[in-house]
Structure 1
Amino acid sequence: MSEAARPTAVDEAEAGPSLLYLIKRAELVVRARLEEMLKPAGVTALQYTALTVLERHDGVSAAQLARDSFVTAQSMADMVRALESRGLVRREPHPRNRREKVIRLAGPGRRLLADYAEPARRLEERMVGELVPADVERFRDALKSAHRSLS
């Protein structure tokens, strides 16, 4: 990069916080609001995330559920035990490998997700409330693209 094209400290200061910082800040506030919203149900934001993953991809291994829920395999093992003890999920033998287990969303887990679908939708609407619909779609596409680029 030529000296003329290289951003200066003034340019960077005018640009504001880094995107990494802004994304993390948004993630933390979303998680805090989810925790508040889910408190009456007695589930955490991470448990709720795992349940929503199962809603979209039921019958996955614990390892896949951990990857899709952004937690470690050990954390997922603990989480599945907690969710299973509450009857929100169940473990069943894998249809093609009886030694392996898959995790499925149980009826109470489906009901919990149905009960919180509207509050979650309102939280998301609040998050993007200052954006026009076209900007919301661009934001969604930009986040998907960022994820693909880093995956």
Structure 2
Amino acid sequence: MTANEELGVLIKETQAVLHQRMDEVLRPLGLTVPQYACLQALHDTPGITGSELARRVFVSRQSTNIVLQGLEKRGLITRSDDPGPRRERATVLTAPAVALLDDARSRVSSVANRMTGDLTRADTARLHALLTACRDALLT
């Protein structure tokens, strides 16, 4: 295996462990990682389209709709009955969702801090720049 291939495997392993640790801290809140990502995206980007939401949650549009249905059943989101200009229904967080999201963000932040705890600020900034460059190279 080449050094670049090993790096790709390491990135994937890191992502898998990060997902597992996030799942561990979110589970007591009754949230999955995709549900958390969905709530966060809806909070941070009001009016987000379904396609963009699916990209941010890293699941298909069909799976995003299933996540939204579950959040709606829990009373964490409301969706309008009338589709908007793009035939999409507006989705809004409820007050309980905002409170739950605050707790969830704190828990996820502790995981991220644990992941980067041994890095200096300069290391973290450099890692961010390098991973951004890697991602962007794959997007072109």
Distance 1:108 1:141 in 2: 36
Give 1:42's aligned residue: 30
Larger Rg: 1
Q: CA deviation at 1:60?
A: 1.8
Question: How many residues end up aligned between the 2 structures?
Answer: 138
Give 1:3's aligned residue: none
Aligned pair 1:64/2:52, yes or no? Answer: yes
* Deviations 1:122-145, CA, capped at 9 Å, x for gaps: 111110112111110111122222
Which stretches in structure 1 are left out of the alignment for 5+ residues? 1-8
Which stretches in structure 2 are left out of the alignment for 5+ residues? none
Give the conservation status (yes or no) of the 8 Å contact 2:50–2:88: no
The RMSD of aligned alpha carbons is 2.1
Q: CA deviation at 1:98?
A: 8.1
Residue identity (%): 34
Distance 1:146 1:21 in 2: 13
Structure 1 residue runs of 4+, over 3 Å off? none
Alignment of 1:2-151 (within 5 A): 12=2, 15=3, 18-92=6-80, 93=82, 97=85, 99-151=87-139
